[in-house]
């Protein structure tokens, strides 16, 4: 069983040396345990935060521990009453080829409903983030304008499509012409802003002629600041992530245009998807329905090779992924 274990707390962008590559024998499950062969790993921006010391919404990964990551895999053997060999499961299996689990937080997934990587994206944590963040906190109403950043990523692609399903005007902010074309032409967004070449504030004025009612923020920093200048009365801003700040070596850059919240009686609300765990089945049901009906498209970006984990993970911070970044560890 090969593993990537956290070896050092990274400064700035993580490097390969921040993990150690280890090998240990696979042990048979004890009573109440199951052994999972990991097939796909979810690579998430949040993993960068878990590498830091300090208080957050979950404890950091300890030095020497297997790097935390979600994954889907196949049960190899089980002494747990809820699982049997051959079951496909999703859980926090870590960056390793085989995982022993006590079954806590492990759920069955059905490859007949959707390909396995989809359970790490649209039908998994990022999809649920989009669903609850947009609908619960954003409360979008038909005819309103919704702006989402990180728009071509795992969360952003789903946010924009759900907002379209709810009858909103949807404007996505993403890096580069290919991603902008993708969200408009393939996903049906009304407009896209390429933050790498456009003046974001000016482009928002053009594409959001009625202002911004809901802003789903995945990136923070300057883009958040630009959107704040364009919000409407009682706008809702969902602080989902701030990837532009995750590798900052100094303090994170906060918005300077925050007085716009005061002027517009607007709200800016942080959300963590784990708070909605008891409602995941509701989101999974509704989104699986949309997928099957062809109303929602799921995009996965699948990289190969367990050993490439450190470099593949960095794609998130370089904007080299479109849709959900997944690492294929093994074939079924
Ligand atoms: P994505 O699939 O969106 O991948 C990350 C993308 O971020 C990149 O492709 C890149 O796209 C963009 N990006 C990277 N660096 C920058 C930068 N400096 N400025 C602007 N954009 C940048 O990842 P996810 O969909 O998995 O996650 C999106 C966000 O949601 C993250 O902030 C993540 O932490 C957050 N999140 C929060 C959750 C919660 O519970 N609150 C749960 C899940 C995710 P581009 O080419 O467009 O720059």
Give the pLDDT confidence of 74-86 residue by residue, as tens digits.
Answer: 999 999 999 999 9
Examine the domain organization and report whether 146 and 258 are in the same domain.
yes
Examine the domain organization and report whether 24 and 73 are in the same domain.
yes
Mean pLDDT of 297-321: 98
Examine the domain organization and report whether 76 and 181 are in the same domain.
no
Which of 220, 241, 315 best tests ligand 1's pocket when mutated (most atoms within 8 Å of CB)? 241
CB 270 within 8 A of CB 241: no
124 lines ligand 1 (CB under 6 A): no
In-domain check, residue 172: yes
321 lines ligand 1 (CB under 6 A): yes
26 lines ligand 1 (CB under 6 A): no
User: What CATH number should be reported for the domain holding residue 60?
Assistant: 3.90.180.10
pLDDT digits (tens, 9 = 90+) for 140-175: 999 999 999 999 999 999 999 999 999 999 999 999
Angle, to 10 degrees, between the axis of helix 125-132 and the axis of helix 154-165? 40
Which ligand 1 atom minimizes the distance to the CA of 44? Answer: 26
Examine the domain organization and report whether 107 and 137 are in the same domain.
no
Examine the domain organization and report whether 240 and 187 are in the same domain.
yes
The residue among 43, 64, 49, 57 whose CA lies nearest residue 10 is: 49
310 lines ligand 1 (CB under 6 A): no
Mean pLDDT of 202-215: 98
Q: Is 90 exceeded by the pLDDT of residue 332?
A: no
pLDDT at 80: 98
3-state secondary structure string, 43-98? CCCHHHHHCCCCCCCCCCCCCCCECCCCEEEEEEEECCCCCCCCCEEEECCCCECE
3-state secondary structure string, 175-190? CCHHHHHHHHHHCCCC
70 lines ligand 1 (CB under 6 A): no
- Complex ipTM, two decimals? 0.99
Which ligand 1 atom minimizes the distance to the CA of 301? Answer: 2
Examine the domain organization and report whether 117 and 245 are in the same domain.
no
Examine the domain organization and report whether 192 and 74 are in the same domain.
no
How far is the centre of ligand 1, averaged over its atoms, from the C-alpha of 32 (Å)?
Answer: 37
How far is the centre of ligand 1, averaged over its atoms, from the C-alpha of 40 (Å)?
Answer: 19
In-domain check, residue 294: no
Q: Is 90 exceeded by the pLDDT of residue 53?
A: yes
In-domain check, residue 156: yes
Examine the domain organization and report whether 147 and 224 are in the same domain.
yes
Examine the domain organization and report whether 227 and 304 are in the same domain.
no
Residues of the chain with pLDDT > 90: what percent?
99
In-domain check, residue 6: yes
Which ligand 1 atom minimizes the distance to the CA of 174? Answer: 47
pLDDT at 47: 98
In-domain check, residue 106: yes
Return the residue whose CA atom lies nearest to atom 2 of ligand 1: 153
179 lines ligand 1 (CB under 6 A): yes
Which ligand 1 atom minimizes the distance to the CA of 321? Answer: 9
Number of domains in the chain: 2
160 lines ligand 1 (CB under 6 A): no
In-domain check, residue 291: no
Mean pLDDT of 86-107: 97
pLDDT digits (tens, 9 = 90+) for 277-302: 999 999 999 999 999 999 999 999 99
User: What CATH number should be reported for the domain holding residue 244?
Assistant: 3.40.50.720
Mean of per-residue pLDDT scores for the chain: 97
146 lines ligand 1 (CB under 6 A): no
Examine the domain organization and report whether 269 and 197 are in the same domain.
yes
In-domain check, residue 78: yes
Residues of the chain with pLDDT > 70: what percent?
100
The residue among 158, 155, 191, 197 whose CA lies nearest residue 176 is: 197
Tokens 């085989």 correspond to: 98
The count of other CB atoms within 10 Å of the CB of residue 290 is 17
Domain that holds residue 206: 125-274
Examine the domain organization and report whether 244 and 143 are in the same domain.
yes
**Cα(92)–Cα(97) distance, rounded to whole angstroms?**
13
Examine the domain organization and report whether 148 and 259 are in the same domain.
yes
Domain boundary among 238, 258, 274: 274
CA of 290: how far to CAs of 114, 162, 303, in Å? 12, 9, 26
pLDDT at 84: 98
319 lines ligand 1 (CB under 6 A): yes
Which ligand 1 atom minimizes the distance to the CA of 196? Answer: 48
pLDDT at 293: 96
In-domain check, residue 198: yes
pLDDT digits (tens, 9 = 90+) for 210-229: 999 999 999 999 999 999 99
For the record, the structure tokens of 134 come out as 């947009």
């Amino acid at each position: 069983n090969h593993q990537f274990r956290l070896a050092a707390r990274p400064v700035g962008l993580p490097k390969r040396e921040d993990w150690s590559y280890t090998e240990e024998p696979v042990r048979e499950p004890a009573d109440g345990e199951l052994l999972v062969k990991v097939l796909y790993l979810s690579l998430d921006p949040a993993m960068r935060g878990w590498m830091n010391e300090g208080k957050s919404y979950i404890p950091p990964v300890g030095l020497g521990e297997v790097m935390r990551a979600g994954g889907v895999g196949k049960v190899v053997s089980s002494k747990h009453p809820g699982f049997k060999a051959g079951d496909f499961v999703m859980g926090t299996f870590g960056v390793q080829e085989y995982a022993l689990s006590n079954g806590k937080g492990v759920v069955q997934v059905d490859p007949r409903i959707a390909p396995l990587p989809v359970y790490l994206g649209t039908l998994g944590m990022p999809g649920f983030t989009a669903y609850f963040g947009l609908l619960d906190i954003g409360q979008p109403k038909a005819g309103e304008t919704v702006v989402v950043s990180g728009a071509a990523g795992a969360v952003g692609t789903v946010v924009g499509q759900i907002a379209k399903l709810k009858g909103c005007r949807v404007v996505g902010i993403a890096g580069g012409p290919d991603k902008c074309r993708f969200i408009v032409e393939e996903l049906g967004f009304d407009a896209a802003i390429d933050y790498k070449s456009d003046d974001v504030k000016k482009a928002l004025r053009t594409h959001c002629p009625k202002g911004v009612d809901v802003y789903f923020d995945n990136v923070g920093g300057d883009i958040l600041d630009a959107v704040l200048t364009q919000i409407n009365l009682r706008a809702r801003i969902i602080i989902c992530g701030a990837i532009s700040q995750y590798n900052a070596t100094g303090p994170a850059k906060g918005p300077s245009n925050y007085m716009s919240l005061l002027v517009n009686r607007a709200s800016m609300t942080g959300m963590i998807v784990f708070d909605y765990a008891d409602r995941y089945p509701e989101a999974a049901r509704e989104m699986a329905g949309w997928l099957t009906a062809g109303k929602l498209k799921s995009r996965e970006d699948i990289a190969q090779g367990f050993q490439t984990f450190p470099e593949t993970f960095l794609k998130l911070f370089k904007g080299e992924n479109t849709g959900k970044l997944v690492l294929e560890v093994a074939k079924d």
